[in-house]
Amino acid sequence: MALSLSNHLNPDWEKATDTELLALIDPARLPRHIAIIMDGNGRWANTRSLARVRGHSQGVESVRDTVRAAGELGMEVLTLYAFSMENWKRPQSEVSFLMRLLGKYLQNEVKELLDNNVRFDVIGRIGDLPDFVQQKAARLKKATENCTGLWLVLALSYGSQQEITDAVRTLAGKVATCELSPEQIDEETITRELYTRRWPDPDLLIRTSGEIRISNFLLWQIAYAEFHITPVLWPDFRRRDLYLAILDYQLRERRFGDAVDKSKVAGKKLRK
């Protein structure tokens, strides 16, 4: 993993317009998969003396603009950490609001995603979510299944430790039924049992709000991801912040422990 704080960026970029930043991005070196920890909704609301839930509502606009920008750039996958396993511990009133907000988003974004050729999916322990959220997620997934552009993946009721635990249980079951021997279990075998098995691993992990931690997100998958930490709170995050993160990423040499910058080498194909 490599880490960069946004205050290490080229100071000239801060003065540039969105159009000028976009022109600086090398389309041949785009990250195939960006994962974002969307942090800071509560702090955004607190600094404005608003209820915490207002921050979550405002964050929907950030999701919309980021998805549009990622699709326009031609990225393959955007994974957003929308609701973690730990989030269930929040006050019930806040959790209920988040579920209603999520349901509204899943229902209202059908046209937006179709218009932008975005294919939708979810990862996590989806069975933990209220039935109405599960149903709306399934409908949105079905409605966009023929889209061919960006994959938008929402991590819902997601925890990476839980994901790995589920994978280990599945593999243990296969060993118990002699479908698999312990000697056959390797990194690729484990990867095939993860929620994210159909997509390439993230090249770039963005965390908003300035916090420097992973928060149980894609622990297996980000082994070689580049990190970009921005102080921008998620409700204020817009396409220029995505552009800045990508420009930061394109400054890196991605060696993966080797002497070759493998970001210039074609990666694995999407799994069908």
The span from the CA of 31 to the CA of 119, in Å, is 18
**Rg (the chain; Cα; Å):** 19
The span from the CA of 80 to the CA of 37, in Å, is 6
List 46, 87, 166, 236, catalytic entry? 87
Q: What is the pLDDT of residue 6?
A: 55
Of 243, 233, 249, the C-alpha closest to 41 is: 233
pLDDT at 212 over 80: yes
Residue 144 Cα to chain centre, angstroms: 18
Q: Is residue 113 within 8 Å of 152, Cβ to Cβ?
A: yes
**How many CB atoms within 10 Å of residue 262?**
14
pLDDT > 90 in the chain, percent: 86
Domains of the chain (ranges; CATH) run: 2-256 (3.40.1180.10)
Q: How would you classify residue 215: left for phi > 0, otherwise alpha for psi between -120 and 50, otherwise beta?
A: left
The span from the CA of 169 to the CA of 183, in Å, is 16
Identify residue 114 by its one-letter amino acid code: L
Which burial class, exposed, middle or buried, applies to 271 when counting CB atoms under 10 A from its CB (0-12, 13-18, 19+)? exposed
39 has catalytic annotation = yes
203 has catalytic annotation = no
pLDDT at 267 over 70: no
Q: What is the pLDDT of residue 15?
A: 86
Q: Reduced to 3 states, what is the DSSP secondary structure of residue 222? A: coil
| Contact partners, residue 239, CB within 8 Å, separation at least 6 | 18, 65, 66, 68, 69
List 12, 18, 26, 39, catalytic entry? 39
Task: Please state whether the predicted TM-score (pTM) of the whole model is above 0.85.
Answer: yes
| pLDDT tens string 58-94 | 999 999 999 999 999 999 999 999 999 999 999 999 9
Helical ranges in the chain per DSSP H:
11-15, 18-24, 41-46, 52-73, 92-108, 110-115, 131-143, 160-176, 187-191, 239-250
pLDDT at 265 over 50: no
Of 91, 109, 87, 92, the C-alpha closest to 38 is: 87
Q: φ and ψ at 238, to 5 degrees?
A: -135, 180
| pLDDT tens string 152-189 | 999 999 999 999 999 999 999 999 999 999 999 999 99
The span from the CA of 231 to the CA of 55, in Å, is 16
Task: Report how far apart, in Å, the C-alpha atoms of 9 and of each of 4, 247, 250 are.
Answer: 9, 9, 12
